[in-house]
Structure 1
């Protein structure tokens, strides 16, 4: 015998499974839910419990007039007894009215879908169907931005503007990185599935902006010219941040390039002959094999955070520079300074399959016995230790290169 809570769980399951089809097809549907009515034998054996169950359903039905109890008569040892067998619900609107949560969801779905269908574009139902819940999950402000953005892109398919130049109030770089898939789906773009996976802090690259007719900002590369002689050729500048083409054309010829994940750690490195430090690239590691003087440097070293993201970035950098050697990203460094590590609960992509055995061991050591993760940021390493290990690695590679 199913009680009202059990049947309402069934209502919720059926709604969750079918609401998208009901929304898109507009089909009126009747519903029926079996109540697990007791047999004549059960009624005769436990008449008191059955009576309470029947009364519970009648009370529930009185409070929910949109639904109707269907009943039958059982002939039992205690006489003929009328028991409910099914809960019948005439329409979809009646169904969702049984649960305020479903009613609110259904109302929101209808309101937003009607506005999506009113956009000046050929909305393809199959393309948007898997994104309907994502559309409903948008805050009201973000949904309004979505509609306005789609209208603007329909009217301006090849604007050549940057994201920040698009005159849609509320649409900025982070908003577009987070919602680009929805925008492209509403525009009926074939590129929509390549739109997912961006993080809200990502700066969208040109390939990601092409389907929207936008232009990416030029990637800036941050450098430290650690050789005073090299600095003299470029006006004495030690710290440089410039677009990739300008960095590529710099008249420098370093023997050693040290790639450092974060700015603060890069600033620790003092002057050193024929050395350039590249830092703070973030996810723009694709520039590494586009800088001619970098790719021909005899020694290419990488120093990043001892965390899962750090090893993923290292692997991606090595995919561009196959001879890249890591520094301070080994089990010994983690073991000696593990007390400085903190918990790491960020979502991280797996690294490329090009880590060395030592790097893979350090990555594995970041997982605790409780299946949690650790993060040891490079800035937390004591500066004397970090510089000592760094210069030992630099000198070792210099000697090896001279042999």
Structure 2
């Protein structure tokens, strides 16, 4: 014999499993069996059955949207009318029994009404309804405005920053790309990423890439002379890739502050401040003929970037990202305040993974920023690895 709480649990489960389908095709009456007592139970446990019936009678009195279905049981002690089912004539009457479901259903129906005017196959839209319903009101309104703009301008050729939709920015579109593409009826071409838009997504939306500049430092005096004495260069990726450079070593430095003090070194080019734009490494042809080194912060983010760089450029070797560097400068480390956990690609070496594991402290994850390491130590290591390989 099921209690009202049992039925409310069943209602919640049925709602969670079916609400997306109900938005598309509203169901008819909804019924829930009470697993009513048998004639044997009525005859042998009349007191428990009477209490059960009274509980349901009082509950039904307090919930006007329900209809209690009844049946008559013939027993050894006479006939007994019992409740058998809770019947609800619509989804609205069902969610009225549970306030938080009523709120969720109201949001879902209102938002579905707003997006149903878009010409999108229902089966393509269905997997994203939960995400759409979970958006806050601001993001949902922005989603509609963005979708309407791209519907009217499918091949604008603009950059994302030029799209004239108030409130739209690159990170918002990156976070919500799957919803925008779904509402436009376009295929999902890339894995979601909170920070970066894939070029395939931009193509699908009719957008073009932002002009991307790369920062390099020419530490070889010969390279400097060939380019009119320039040492520090910031230029679009295509122009950097087209430079006539043939370095023996390419040093990829995570932060600008750590790259600027690098002294002149014959045969060395420094690339710095790439951040997550690591696809650039595979687009610069003169890197592939050089020995590539990567120097980043000794923290979780630094090792994640290292692993992603090696995914693009398998020959990269890390430098100053080892246990010795960490142990000798551990007093300069601080607790990582970001709290983010970005798992690295599978390209880290065993030694690198051990160093990453060593960053775990009782107080949290440690961060040793590269610019905090004394420059005399950095220069000694560079002298050791660069001279060692150039012999």
| TM-score normalised by L of structure 2 | 0.86
Instruction: Show the 5 A alignment for 1:170-185.
Output: 170-185=167-182
Find the counterpart in structure 2 of residue 325 from structure 1.
Answer: 317
| Aligned residues of 1:288 and 1:294 also touching (Cα < 8 A) | yes
The answer to whether residue 144 in structure 2 is matched with residue 147 in structure 1 is yes
The answer to whether residue 192 in structure 2 is matched with residue 197 in structure 1 is yes
Find the counterpart in structure 2 of residue 16 from structure 1.
Answer: 16
Number of paired residues?
388
Find the counterpart in structure 1 of residue 204 from structure 2.
Answer: 211
Aligned-residue CA RMSD in angstroms? 3.0
Find the counterpart in structure 2 of residue 68 from structure 1.
Answer: 67
Q: Using the alignment, how far apart are the partners of 2:312 and 2:191 within structure 1?
A: 24
Q: Using the alignment, how far apart are the partners of 2:340 and 2:43 within structure 1?
A: 60
How much has 1:234 moved relative to structure 2?
A: 4.4
Q: Using the alignment, how far apart are the partners of 2:231 and 2:33 within structure 1?
A: 78
The runs of 5 or more residues in structure 2 that have no matched partner are: none
Find the counterpart in structure 2 of residue 357 from structure 1.
Answer: 350
Find the counterpart in structure 1 of residue 235 from structure 2.
Answer: 242
Q: 1:42 to 1:308 in 2, by over 3 A?
A: farther
| Aligned residues of 1:127 and 1:185 also touching (Cα < 8 A) | yes
Q: Using the alignment, how far apart are the partners of 1:241 and 1:45 within structure 2?
A: 90
How much has 1:363 moved relative to structure 2?
A: 3.3
Q: Deviations over 1:194-252 (max 9, x none)?
A: 244121x32x3533300111111122112234456644554555443321122234465
How much has 1:161 moved relative to structure 2?
A: 0.7
Q: 1:214 to 1:86 in 2, by over 3 A?
A: same
Find the counterpart in structure 2 of residue 3 from structure 1.
Answer: 3
Q: 1:208 to 1:389 in 2, by over 3 A?
A: farther
Find the counterpart in structure 1 of residue 53 from structure 2.
Answer: 54
Find the counterpart in structure 1 of residue 373 from structure 2.
Answer: 383
Find the counterpart in structure 1 of residue 272 from structure 2.
Answer: 279
| Aligned residues of 1:180 and 1:196 also touching (Cα < 8 A) | no
Find the counterpart in structure 1 of residue 340 from structure 2.
Answer: 346
Correspondence for 2:294 among 275, 293, 302: 302
| Aligned residues of 1:233 and 1:251 also touching (Cα < 8 A) | no
How much has 1:364 moved relative to structure 2?
A: 4.0
| Aligned residues of 1:227 and 1:271 also touching (Cα < 8 A) | no
| Aligned residues of 1:181 and 1:195 also touching (Cα < 8 A) | no
| Aligned residues of 2:330 and 2:368 also touching (Cα < 8 A) | no
| TM-score normalised by L of structure 1 | 0.84
